[in-house]
Structures are given as structure tokens and as C-alpha cells.
Amino acid sequence: MASDCFPPFIAAQLNYLVHHCPLGVKVENVWSGSKSYPGVLDRFTLLIPYCLDYIKWDVLYNAEFPLCAPDVIFGPEDEHFHPFWLRSKEGGNEMEGAKNSLSEWNHKDPTRLCALIQELRDEYTAYQRRRAGEVDDDRLTFEISTILSREGIEMHMSSGLEKPEEVKLAVPLLDMNINKMVHGCPWRHLQKIHLQVVYPVGKKYVSAASAPRLKLVSTPELKALFSVDDVKLPSWVDGMCMAEYLPHLEESLQGQIMEAVSLIDIRRHFIETLAPVFGRPIEADPVFCRKATVLVASGVFTFLVHLFIPTQFPKQQPALMLQSSQHFNSQGAPIRSSLLTDFPWSPRWEAPQMAERILEFLVDESLNFKRFCNEAQLQT
């Protein structure tokens, strides 16, 4: 993003939005609408996370008219979304109580754009919720009524000529703060797991309601601790409803997360037992204990061993990658092996035994790796 071509007042507001807004807004496209200064950017497309997807809004400033508040063009499918619409019965101009982030716009305040986008997104959430509530489908109306009380629930009604009508729900799961469970947590944003539920809008002539499409989605950073892809969703029995399904799923998820947190300590213990065998690790991930690097020497051949420890450790074995400290390719980068996992392993071994077995494997593997390095270097 070439933010240095924005006029200062827009740059300040946009930077604040991108770096301080908890929504995680991204800027997709920037361009200029000015006639006299075609290089001065003043309009951009924002990607705003909503309902486990992104909505695209165009924000239009006028570089030459800094006092004018920006305008927003919403997506083509949202032609009925009208925020800040001041309905007044008579006169069209008595809007005493109207107060929102656009009134009394101040171009010198860097927080204004962020406040505007947040307020608009709140309005959009309410608008989509209203639309989903208006769908003429008894099952859907019932399902929505049971989960409406969940804080942070988001809905999206998608309809189009080609697409079948469906209502997408993003149901926040687990009322627990995962950030607080991890010691020394580096995450800036609160980690969340959502269940995405997609209901096809019922056709009147279909008697049996089909099961909704279900998918677990987590915030991307949570992968360091716990991968939602490993979770096996309980099956949806015919005639089931969300109110029955969710408590069951939440209970099992909660257990899995507790286990994932406790596995951090097992990984830490494993890294600590590497020290007597390999010497102190050169580098190790201190929070999630997913990575450790040790220095190994076989005669004069010294190389690094990166250990990638999976979240399912010790059920799953770590993956090893060897990196020579003496051989470099034509680009000057050190030569590395591919990920190695075909070494003897048993989850029932004690941690010191695991470390020793890895060392035994490396003693043999170092010869192969040295040959591989020499060949690779000869080719260049």
C-alpha cells in the first residue's frame, strides 16, 4: 500500500483504521479521483470481515476538499442497506436527535474513519439480521430465535438470480477467553472459534428439511495452539435443531481446548529434554513450544536441526529439517533437507528416550545429508 501518496489527513485516518481497529480491516485497492492532482490518492476499497467472510465497501474522499466527509458505496447486492437514513415525517429537515460518526466531521481527527466504519458495520449487522428474520421459512425463524441471545452472532442472507437463497450464520462458540489460558500470550486480538452454519431457505414443496452445512472456523492465529480442522464435528441427526446441537459441540470443544493448552507443557518438557542430548537449543518457541532448533556436529560437518512439533504431540511425531551451515546454493542460501518424519517413534516413550532416538536417527541421516549437500553444491 503506497500510503505516502495519500494526503496527510486521509493517510492518518486510514492508518489508524488499519492498525488500531479491532475488526482487522484490509485495504484492497487505492486510486485517485482528483483532476488537478492525479497522483494524490483519495479513494479506496476496504475489505471488512463480516460473518466469516469479507464485505467490500468503496470509501470516497475528495483530496481537494478535506472538510467534506467521505462517502461510501456498498456492495451491489446491498442496495437496500441505508444506514444513517434520517426518516422524518414532515419537512425533511428536523433531525435534532440525529447524531452519528458523520455529523460534525472533523478531518483532523485520525480516529474518525475507524469510528465511521465500525458504526456502519454495526448497522450492517442489524440490517442483515433483519433480512434473515424476514425470511419466510418456519424452521429458520425458529433456529434464529434460539440463538439470537448469543453475543456477537452474525448473519448473512445471500440471494441472487443464479445462487440459491441461503442464510449464513456465524455462531460464536465457547464463552471462554483462550488468550488468558495461554501463558505469555502474544495475540493482540481475542481468539475465537465460530461455527459457520448455512441454511438453505426452505422451498415450500420440499417436505423434509435438509441438514445445514456446518464448518468450524477459528481466528488464524489460533492454529499455533489448536487446529479446528482436527475437530470432528458431531453428526447432525434428522430433525435436530441448533439448540440441541450447540451445547454438545461446545462441551467437546472446551475439552479439546483444555487438552491443547495442557499439551503446551508436554512440548516444553520435550524441548527441555533435548538439552542434555543435543546441547542447549539455539532457538525455541517459548509460548506455544512448536519449534526448536539445535546445532549438531558429525565430525567437522555441522548443521542445524529444526524440530517442528505438531499440536497433537506426542501422538504425532515432530518433523525434522536439516540445514547445513557449510553448504550454500547459487543464491547464497543454506542448503536444507525436506521435512523428515520417517524415523522410529512411539508416543509411549519417555521424553529423554524420544530425544535419544532422534539423535540415533540423525547419526545415520547426517551422512545422507552430507552427500546430498555436496551433490547440490557441485551442481551449481
Residue 53 binding other proteins, by CB under 8 A: no
Residue 97 binding other proteins, by CB under 8 A: no
Give the separation between CA 3 and CA 379, rounded to whole angstroms: 44
* DSSP-assigned beta bridge partners for residue 154: 170
Which of 16, 18, 62, 277 forms a contact with other proteins (CB under 8 A)?
62
What is the identity of the amino acid at 90? E
Report in angstroms how near the CB of residue 79 gets to other proteins at its nearest.
Answer: 7
Residue 39 binding other proteins, by CB under 8 A: yes
Q: Applying CB under 8 A, which part among 25-33, 147-155, 171-179, 294-302 lies near other proteins?
A: 25-33
Residue 246 binding other proteins, by CB under 8 A: no
Which of 22, 26, 28, 95 forms a contact with other proteins (CB under 8 A)?
95
Residue 126 binding other proteins, by CB under 8 A: no
Q: Compute CA distances 307 → 129, 274, 292, 374, whole Å.
A: 47, 10, 5, 23
CB contact at 8 A, 15 and 3: yes
- Write the binding mask 279 to 298 for other proteins: x where contact by CB under 8 A, - elsewhere: --------------------
CB contact at 8 A, 308 and 291: yes
Residue 204 binding other proteins, by CB under 8 A: no
Residue 36 binding other proteins, by CB under 8 A: yes
Cα–Cα nearest to 146, from 60, 230, 9, 245: 245
What is the identity of the amino acid at 139? R
Give the separation between CA 182 and CA 4, rounded to whole angstroms: 38
Residue 79 binding other proteins, by CB under 8 A: yes
Residue 115 binding other proteins, by CB under 8 A: no
Report in angstroms how near the CB of residue 1 gets to other proteins at its nearest.
Answer: 15
Interacting residues with other proteins (CB under 8 A): 4-9, 31-37, 39-40, 43, 58, 60, 62-69, 71-74, 76, 79-80, 82-88, 90-93, 95, 98, 100, 102-103, 105
